[in-house]
Homo-oligomer: A and B are copies of this chain.
């Protein structure tokens, strides 16, 4: 059998992530012990949260150390099982990291049904990003029919689900994305009511125009200046889901939010969220999202890069917003 290949962390990024922050390491394919399962990874998910894991700042989860395999979720096929719940050929998602094979306790795997939807969807709209959109919007944003929901990184794995759910729940959905191609996709293919190209440089004016009744829920995937601008258009008693901050990672100095006075004046509720905190309720989101995908009511788009060798390049592109939809690495 060809050897396993794994990306390990070679150095912490000084500012922007570079390919030489990672090192590709070969090793024999592991052999599962009692209770373990060997998974051949077919898809690797690349997600913005990974940037926080290789920062030396405190975050909500333990960071990756130098020499560790890069953290990440994969979807794949069971090759060999010493766990009673899994058999060769089963399709699963697994916290394998950036590598060709995952070998771990069966307790860490999730069996998924890839007969009705593509396996890769379980890393996107039916996986962590989809569940993040579901619980963040439903529990924190809590939009009522007729309200306006704005979401940044709207063409991305989380944002695209947020806006489509908002539409399904009777809201006006307004996306924010970078560039006209993404905005066209969000408005025309995903069915948002509007999508603003923040790179056009008129975010405040464009928000005022796209949200004539103000914004009741803002689902924030980017932080920084975009969040600050949204604070100027939020309605009384509005909610902000603080979900991501991809705009802030490589800044030398943190962005200073100037419009926090709006929180008091408008009695805004802001809440930070990490989807792990909803783990006990994942089944609810999984079932609802799968039903919507099968019914053709939840669309998704994937940005696929081929080969484990290209994982760092795909990740760097993701951080720069070069992906268009859910970023995946095709391994098998």
Contact = CB atoms under 8 A, between A and B. Distances in A.
Interface size class of A (residues with CB under 8 A): 35 or more
Interface in A236-285: 236, 242-245, 248, 253-274, 277
A223 interface: yes
A268 B271 contact: yes
Interface string A204-238: 00000000000000000001000100000000100
Nearest to A262: B272
Among A59, A263, A264, A272, max chain B CB count under 10 A is at A264
Interface string A32-62: 0000000000000000000000000111100
A267 B272 contact: yes
A288 B223 CA distance: 41
A260 B223 contact: yes
Contacts of A60: 236, 264-267
B261 A248 contact: yes
Interface string A127-145: 0000000000000000000
Contacts of A57: 261
Given A269-B269, A269-B270, A254 B258 contact: yes
Contacts of A223: 260-261, 264
A56 to B, nearest CB: 14
Contacts of A260: 223, 227, 242, 254, 257
Interface string A275-315: 00100000000000000000000000000000000000000
A225 to B, nearest CB: 11
12 contacts: A60-B265, A223-B260, A242-B260, A242-B263, A244-B264, A255-B258, A256-B256, A257-B258, A257-B260, A262-B272, A264-B273, A269-B270
Interface of A: 57-60, 223, 227, 236, 242-245, 248, 253-274, 277
